[in-house]
Structure 1
Amino acid sequence: MLPIGILVLVAMMVLPLPVFLLDTFFVVNIVLSLLILMVALHTHRPLDFSSFPNLILIATVLRLALNVASTRVVLSEGHTGADAAGQVIKAFGEFVVAGNYAVGIFVFIILVIINLVVITKGAGRVSEVSARFTLDAMPGKQMAIDADLNAGIMTPEEATARRQEVADEADFYGSMDGASKFVKGDAIAGLLILAINIVGGLIIGVAQHQMAVADAAQSYILLSIGDGLVAQIPSLLLSIATAIIVTRVSSTQDMAQHIGGQVNLSRAWTPTAAVIFILGLVPGMPNQLFMLFAAAAAAAAYFARKSEDLSEAEADLEAQDGGAEEATDSETVLLADVTDYSAVSMQLGYGLISLVDEEQSGPLVSRITGIRREVSRGLGFVIPGVRIRDDLALEPNQYRIRIGQTIVGEDVAYPDRKLALPGDGSLVKIEGIEVKDPSFGMDAVWIRPQQQAEAEANDYVVIEPDSVISTHLSQLLNKHAADLIGQDDVQALLDQLGEASPNLVKSIVPKLVPLHVLTLVLRRLLSERIPISDLRRILEGLSNLVGPNMGPNEMAEALRPKLVPLLIQQVSPLGTVLPLMTLTPELEQLMLRTVRQNGEDGLVLEGSLAEQLMRSINDSSEKLSAAGRPTIMVVAPQIRRVFSDFVRAHIPDMIILSFTELPENRRVEVYASIGSFDALGAEGNPSAVASELQTEPETV
């Protein structure tokens, strides 16, 4: 029906209309304007009436079409009498302005001033400012949605809906800024059409129909005034509706409830009644009228007070029934209560809530955001948001970190204390709660803030509690990075690379390497701390590696020589010497024979030999870590992968490289050579080895 109606409106401007159709359309115009006004009054939010700009355009075109059609009738048939243009125009011309065209002109001018100067101008200004501020506020609203999503306050679906609502709001106010110009133009057009009708009617009546000037003025001006008022009244209603929409504040109530709830205050009506009563006592005033309104204001104050008392009683009753409702709710188990799809989550005991409370300037959330940004930059993909929630099942100062549903770390922090780590020159023992540092397992002590100066004077490093938790989280995110990347994340990386290198992405994924295989390759690289930020190099390398006998582990191993420099530059600045640990030739040959014998079973060593090997590696790595240097071990390429799986199960931070992965532009030194054998089994069987391992420092 709408396309047909638009065509009818256009036809009305060209084709002459019978008088009864003209009356019908005038009534439709008034009904439509009243309907739009009533809907505007009963909307809760401006977006609830998002079709309003379209209705303004349609209603404006309808009025203009009626003006054209009525002008044609007035000018062509106005000499025949007051009912020439229909009953509606006649009624407005005779009854509303009492048949006096001078009064009609002044009434019409006043209506135009009210509509054009007051309502339309104000509504247009509000629309313009609202559109500007809405567009300026969009980035902040988007950031707030992202922050709520990262904090776990809303689900991804809710965040998507909120983003769409923000976009719709910007589009709506932008449309209203333009639609308000329709209303203003309509008012101006009405004034011009009135002038044209009056001048044209006088000319036609005097020149063509030989009417006296007074008779022509009485006939044509009354018809023109009636025609103008018939169009101006709906225009005024639409202007009021526009002003209501653009000044509306979003709430859960319509306009009447919104205003009534805020105006219905006994403490406002009581002084109002008192002032009106005093004015009613002034001599010369219409005392009875003032007393009547004073009584009405006093009655309004009385009923407002009763309503306030009832609301307070209902609030007390709800508070008393709260415990019973909680007991009822606790018997209901919902799926949302037992499922949590957050990739990373942190549970806090109630004693740690102050660290995330914005009212208490809790710094933990901002630190976690910084940690996510730093770890994401280092690993090459966006770490998922950390969902923080309180957990009454934990001890007051306990926190717990989960990757998926797996608990990967937990410890205790004291928000009213600070963690002091002893340095090399710390000879004085500081009084406090002795613990192990959750990130590195070092001896530490929780001290009170007033002990900080004493601790720093004795070569202690003092750390804030939020830094302790965020550092622990950073370590766990790096350690479990392979568990945080999924196929959706990999696809997002491919989409971003596809903008710069579309042909590369299309030729590799999924033609040569399926998405799930690429995900497994990236997970394998991340499990050994290899950044995947250079995805272009990874895809180019995979294009030369795809074969029938290569699985994800073999692909990742073949890609390592090109990607290891990214890891080394993170753990050791360019220009510094890399400290390396190696295996003695005897031990390395033993492992080579073991790998050949066991094949896919990996590295299998006799129990005492494995224990001595790990003890020797651990001692050397602790010495390097204490000196602030990276722990890197270099082995033969044939055993690197199985040896890395064996060692990293016990020492996760150890970096295992092959000789072929060492960068040519870095200076190295052999810090330690692990393994010295007095005897080997005749067939190289690991169980026949009876010698002990020892560390032989050797710097070159």
Structure 2
Amino acid sequence: MSPRDLSVLLGVILIIIMLVIPLPGWLLSFFILINITLALIVILVSMNMDEALQFAVFPTLLLLLTLFRLGLNVSTTRSILSEAEAGGVVETFGTFVIGGNPLVGFVVFIILVIIQFLVITKGAERVSEVAARFTLDAMPGKQMSIDADLNAGMINEHQAKERRGKIENEADFYGAMDGASKFVKGDAIAGIIIVIINIIFGLIIGMAQMGMSFNEAIDTYMRLTVGDGLVSQIPALLISTATGIVVTRVASEGNLSSDVTSQLLRYPKLLYIAAASIFLLGLTPIPIFLTSLIAGVLAFGGYRLSRQSEKQDIEEPEETDEAEGDQMRSPENVVDLISMDPIEFEFGYALIPIADTSQGGDLLDRIVMIRRQLAIELGLVIPVVRIRDNIQLSPNEYRLKIKGNQVAGGELLLDHYLAMTPGDEDDGVEGMDTVEPAFGLPAKWITEDVKDEAELSGYTVVDPPSVVSTHITEVIKRHAHALLGRQETQQLIDHLKASYPILVQEVTPDPLSVGDVQKVLAKLLRENISIKNLPVIFETLADFAKMTNDTELLGEYVRQSLSAQITSQFKGGHDQMKVITVSGQVEKLVADHIKQTEHGSYLALDPERQQAVLRSVAEQVERVTLQEETAVVLCSPAVRMYMKQLLDRALPQVVVLSYNELDPSAEVQSVGVVNVS
């Protein structure tokens, strides 16, 4: 334990001792001076901090200082009532303030207590309460603002995390200050009660037990009581003022001193008006010497500030021009131009309202939800989506880029709705024919006045923001494998290592590099398999990586380990999984044409037989699709990878599974067979 920590612990123990054990007068004087010193340090720190969180320990410190001051009050009260003395500091304060008149000294003390209790303490308590309430109410809005800036690319993940932490700390701080301000109020009340007790019981003890006369008792106990009250109330007043300063601080670029001087003296011309007003007061019976002196100081200050302001106005444009020139000449300025955003969403000027929050646009909030949804579904942290308008696009056009390449696009009509139906369309619904961009379904752009009619006719009607957000979601899903690089893979490994260090150590960096792991995970994402269950994936890699370093083959082993997940994903809510099985003839045909090379294996099937297999699969898929079922092709583990490679060229949407990828408890129904003549 460091000396600083030990000193704080000893201080708390000492406070408890003060409440129980009588202390000699010289030690009381020492602690009283320590109390005044701590109060001075606290108010100076509160005046020089730039923001409230720089003094985050203040609520706890306020409790300890209040307890310390009350402990001193108990000790001095015990000493005053039992021995009619409380140390040199208390007696000096009492004698100096009373000045031979106990009543005057008591009145001065009462005024100090009223100032602290009714003005500073009560105000600080109210400000703390309001600040805590408004800080908590503003948290959701601040969180959404951070998410919006993150999705707009204005800040990165690290900066967003820092801002969220700061918001949480602010809420905790102001909530604590709301409760801590009650200590200050209670301390002021206790001070008044202690003074009354000292005076009343001091007179009784002095006259009844010590044989003092009334005047002597009044003089002795009034002097000690007022002195005790002052040495406790002056630090209390400083602490109360510090509390008010801390809770009334708002966003600024400097401390209290710089803010007061810069903002109060921001308008030099007003000092001339104040100087003239003070000078005119000298025409009254007020001494003209005093008013002229003050007016002269104000006028001189206004003149100096005016000159400084004019000088800054001249220098600032020159500095700005130089800074801009230096920025354009700096090599970093050129380097920034070659950086590329992983995901970019561009749109024409007519679509600005969907992204502009001031016009009611909620696209930024929707993208936040999309990233969260895909993180849950795929187990991949999607990069920030850069959103920008592009005047080179048509007004209603938008496009989505992945790593600089356009992968999707479309058009939106903001004053229309998109109506879709999986069945036969009702020609009675008027609209502009189009295609739903995410799934390629036939649709119509309809106006709001026919929206109800379209819904009654069986159409699914969605608004433009929902259309584009659905499109973005599906496109990112299809290209998730392209977003997973080595850097992102390392982040996933580090996250897993925090919980499974031994498992990660057994897989990487030996026998598999980060690049090998990335290839396996990308293979899963390419076929829409979630990588969220990283522990199971790494368990499989640990078992088979020592046998082979072929990432394609390792990917097949991983898929088999995820059989329960894969079955649940493609089975949906149905009792049975309907599949299209591959005949033994086709499996033998594929197996006989697998070529092994030092760089891996591939399918070398002649074009005529490839087309025959593709035609057979296409016929079966079309028949299954008409029954509104998901097209799943089922084959043996030995040829699954090669069947998927073959189908990807013409039927990329078809799911290909092997028997080992099905959960043993799953019920499977064959609704077709892939065969060639």
The structure-2 alpha-carbon separation of the partners of 1:338 and 1:532, relative to structure 1 and needing over 3 Å to count, comes to same
Question: Once the 2 structures are TM-superposed, how far is the Cα of residue 349 of structure 1 from its aligned partner?
Answer: 5.4
Question: Given the alignment of the two structures, is residue 124 of structure 1 paired with residue 154 of structure 2, yes or no?
Answer: no
* Contact kept in structure 2, 1:75 and 1:201, CA below 8 Å: yes
CA distance in 2, matches of 1:427, 1:209: 110
The structure-2 alpha-carbon separation of the partners of 1:443 and 1:273, relative to structure 1 and needing over 3 Å to count, comes to same
Match of 2:39 in 1: 33
CA distance in 1, matches of 2:661, 2:76: 90
Trace 1:127-276 onto structure 2 (pairs within 5 A): 127-131=128-132, 134=135, 141-142=142-143, 144-146=145-147, 148-207=149-208, 209-258=210-259
Question: Once the 2 structures are TM-superposed, how far is the Cα of residue 287 of structure 1 from its aligned partner?
Answer: 8.0
The structure-2 alpha-carbon separation of the partners of 1:234 and 1:390, relative to structure 1 and needing over 3 Å to count, comes to same
The structure-2 alpha-carbon separation of the partners of 1:73 and 1:586, relative to structure 1 and needing over 3 Å to count, comes to closer
Q: Secondary structure at the match of 1:601?
A: strand
* Contact kept in structure 2, 1:416 and 1:448, CA below 8 Å: no
Match of 1:602 in 2: 602
Match of 2:100 in 1: 99
1:225-249 CA distances to partner (integer Å, 9 max, x unpaired)?
Answer: 2222232222222212212222322
* Contact kept in structure 1, 2:150 and 2:384, CA below 8 Å: no
Larger radius of gyration between Structure 1 and Structure 2: 1
- Paired residues, what number? 647
Question: Once the 2 structures are TM-superposed, how far is the Cα of residue 48 of structure 1 from its aligned partner?
Answer: 1.9
* Contact kept in structure 1, 2:540 and 2:558, CA below 8 Å: no
User: Amino acid of the residue matched to residue 604 of structure 2?
Assistant: V
Match of 2:361 in 1: 362
Question: Once the 2 structures are TM-superposed, how far is the Cα of residue 402 of structure 1 from its aligned partner?
Answer: 4.9
CA distance in 2, matches of 1:158, 1:18: 55
The structure-2 alpha-carbon separation of the partners of 1:213 and 1:477, relative to structure 1 and needing over 3 Å to count, comes to same
* Contact kept in structure 1, 2:203 and 2:214, CA below 8 Å: yes
Question: Once the 2 structures are TM-superposed, how far is the Cα of residue 182 of structure 1 from its aligned partner?
Answer: 3.7
Question: Once the 2 structures are TM-superposed, how far is the Cα of residue 586 of structure 1 from its aligned partner?
Answer: 4.9
Match of 2:567 in 1: 565
The structure-2 alpha-carbon separation of the partners of 1:107 and 1:552, relative to structure 1 and needing over 3 Å to count, comes to same
Match of 1:644 in 2: 644
* Contact kept in structure 2, 1:481 and 1:526, CA below 8 Å: yes
The structure-2 alpha-carbon separation of the partners of 1:521 and 1:296, relative to structure 1 and needing over 3 Å to count, comes to same
CA distance in 1, matches of 2:293, 2:622: 89
Question: Once the 2 structures are TM-superposed, how far is the Cα of residue 604 of structure 1 from its aligned partner?
Answer: 0.7
CA distance in 1, matches of 2:363, 2:237: 56
Q: Using the TM superposition, name which of 457-466 and 217-226 deviates more.
A: 457-466
Match of 2:384 in 1: 386
Match of 2:55 in 1: 49
CA distance in 2, matches of 1:106, 1:363: 63
User: Amino acid of the residue matched to residue 329 of structure 1?
Assistant: Q
Match of 1:552 in 2: 554
Question: Once the 2 structures are TM-superposed, how far is the Cα of residue 307 of structure 1 from its aligned partner?
Answer: 7.5
Question: Once the 2 structures are TM-superposed, how far is the Cα of residue 415 of structure 1 from its aligned partner?
Answer: 6.6
* Contact kept in structure 2, 1:583 and 1:675, CA below 8 Å: no
Q: Using the TM superposition, name which of 211-220 and 60-69 deviates more.
A: 60-69
* Contact kept in structure 1, 2:417 and 2:447, CA below 8 Å: no
The structure-2 alpha-carbon separation of the partners of 1:70 and 1:541, relative to structure 1 and needing over 3 Å to count, comes to closer
Trace 1:307-326 onto structure 2 (pairs within 5 A): 325-326=323-324
The structure-2 alpha-carbon separation of the partners of 1:585 and 1:338, relative to structure 1 and needing over 3 Å to count, comes to same
CA distance in 2, matches of 1:23, 1:422: 86
Q: Using the TM superposition, name which of 534-543 and 118-127 deviates more.
A: 534-543
The structure-2 alpha-carbon separation of the partners of 1:194 and 1:637, relative to structure 1 and needing over 3 Å to count, comes to closer
* Contact kept in structure 2, 1:381 and 1:493, CA below 8 Å: no
Q: Secondary structure at the match of 1:127?
A: helix
* Contact kept in structure 2, 1:41 and 1:255, CA below 8 Å: yes
Trace 1:58-97 onto structure 2 (pairs within 5 A): 58-64=64-70, 66-67=72-73, 70-71=76-77, 74-75=80-81, 78=84, 88-97=89-98
* Contact kept in structure 2, 1:380 and 1:532, CA below 8 Å: yes
CA distance in 1, matches of 2:356, 2:299: 41
CA distance in 2, matches of 1:52, 1:215: 44
CA distance in 2, matches of 1:158, 1:71: 54
The structure-2 alpha-carbon separation of the partners of 1:618 and 1:512, relative to structure 1 and needing over 3 Å to count, comes to same
CA distance in 1, matches of 2:373, 2:16: 62
1:328-378 CA distances to partner (integer Å, 9 max, x unpaired)?
Answer: 323324398268697x5224256355432211222432343444455455x
* Contact kept in structure 1, 2:537 and 2:558, CA below 8 Å: no
The structure-2 alpha-carbon separation of the partners of 1:422 and 1:627, relative to structure 1 and needing over 3 Å to count, comes to farther
User: Amino acid of the residue matched to residue 569 of structure 2?
Assistant: L
Q: Secondary structure at the match of 2:49?
A: coil
Q: Secondary structure at the match of 2:405?
A: strand
CA distance in 1, matches of 2:303, 2:131: 36
The structure-2 alpha-carbon separation of the partners of 1:634 and 1:248, relative to structure 1 and needing over 3 Å to count, comes to same
CA distance in 2, matches of 1:366, 1:528: 28
CA distance in 1, matches of 2:413, 2:268: 45
User: Amino acid of the residue matched to residue 530 of structure 1?
Assistant: I
How large is the Cα RMSD of the aligned pairs? 5.7
Q: TM-score, normalised by structure 1?
A: 0.71
Q: Secondary structure at the match of 1:30?
A: helix
Question: Once the 2 structures are TM-superposed, how far is the Cα of residue 166 of structure 1 from its aligned partner?
Answer: 3.2
CA distance in 1, matches of 2:201, 2:176: 37
User: Amino acid of the residue matched to residue 336 of structure 2?
Assistant: D
Match of 2:588 in 1: 589
Question: Once the 2 structures are TM-superposed, how far is the Cα of residue 93 of structure 1 from its aligned partner?
Answer: 2.8
Q: What is the percent sequence identity of the aligned residues?
A: 33
User: Amino acid of the residue matched to residue 647 of structure 1?
Assistant: L
CA distance in 2, matches of 1:308, 1:436: 67
CA distance in 2, matches of 1:460, 1:643: 37
Trace 1:265-414 onto structure 2 (pairs within 5 A): 325-334=323-332, 337=336, 344-348=342-346, 351=349, 353-376=352-375, 379-381=377-379, 383-390=381-388, 395=393, 401-403=400-402, 405=403, 407=405, 409-411=407-409, 413=411
Q: Secondary structure at the match of 1:633?
A: strand
Question: Once the 2 structures are TM-superposed, how far is the Cα of residue 644 of structure 1 from its aligned partner?
Answer: 0.7
CA distance in 2, matches of 1:138, 1:313: 42
The structure-2 alpha-carbon separation of the partners of 1:627 and 1:633, relative to structure 1 and needing over 3 Å to count, comes to same
The structure-2 alpha-carbon separation of the partners of 1:641 and 1:18, relative to structure 1 and needing over 3 Å to count, comes to same
1:565-584 CA distances to partner (integer Å, 9 max, x unpaired)?
Answer: 223234xx62799473x667
User: Amino acid of the residue matched to residue 569 of structure 1?
Assistant: K
* Contact kept in structure 1, 2:102 and 2:219, CA below 8 Å: yes
Trace 1:460-475 onto structure 2 (pairs within 5 A): 466-467=465-466, 469-475=468-474
CA distance in 2, matches of 1:421, 1:167: 43
The structure-2 alpha-carbon separation of the partners of 1:261 and 1:323, relative to structure 1 and needing over 3 Å to count, comes to closer
* Contact kept in structure 2, 1:413 and 1:465, CA below 8 Å: no
Question: Once the 2 structures are TM-superposed, how far is the Cα of residue 591 of structure 1 from its aligned partner?
Answer: 1.9
Q: Secondary structure at the match of 2:603?
A: coil
CA distance in 2, matches of 1:309, 1:347: 51
* Contact kept in structure 1, 2:148 and 2:364, CA below 8 Å: no
CA distance in 2, matches of 1:531, 1:242: 53
Question: Once the 2 structures are TM-superposed, how far is the Cα of residue 479 of structure 1 from its aligned partner?
Answer: 1.9
Question: Once the 2 structures are TM-superposed, how far is the Cα of residue 215 of structure 1 from its aligned partner?
Answer: 2.0
Question: Once the 2 structures are TM-superposed, how far is the Cα of residue 621 of structure 1 from its aligned partner?
Answer: 5.4
